[in-house]
Structure 1
Amino acid sequence: MPPPHGFRYDVHTDGTVVVTHHGRAAATLRGPRAARFLAEIDAGDPQLVMARWTGNYRRGNERAARLHPRHRR
């Protein structure tokens, strides 16, 4: 699966963090959640962290999992 791309984040003066994906707002983080997000961005791959925080990381394997014999009815 290719790594996620197209994410950006902007930190506003009041501490709010807005995460965008291809120019559209995907998440708005305030207070302690914003601080935790910024600490995590510094520690890891920013694109992967933003994909995880916005919930946009589950791409590519859903169809394959749905077709697995274990999931058939």
Structure 2
Amino acid sequence: MPRPHGFEYREHADGTVRITHHGRPATTLHAPRSGQFLAEVEASSDPQLVMARWTGNYRRGNERTARNHPRNRR
């Protein structure tokens, strides 16, 4: 799986966390999910992968297979 990149997050005073991907908003997390995210990203050795997973913006490795399926051909 290619390593995700371009994710950043900012923690705000009201307890929300905003995650961006290449400068564009990807998601906003509110308490208590923001606390869970911060704990996971701090404990992780690859915060990019954690942010990709929390935003749902990551590849699963089956895109080529799905594109070539007879149901998806035109």
**TM bucket normalised to smaller:** 0.7 to 0.9
Please report how far the alpha carbon of residue 62 of structure 1 lies from its aligned counterpart in structure 2 after TM superposition.
Answer: 0.8
Alignment TM-score, normalising by the size of structure 1: 0.83
Q: Structure 1, unaligned stretches of length 5 or more?
A: none
Instruction: State the AA in 1 paired with 2:34.
Output: A
Give SS of 1:31's match. Answer: coil
Is 1:11 matched up with 2:5?
no
Task: Report the count of equivalent residues.
Answer: 70
Q: CA RMSD in A?
A: 1.7
The equivalent residue for 1:57 is 58
For residues 8 and 30 of structure 1, what CA distance do their matches in structure 2 show?
16
Partner of 1:26: 26
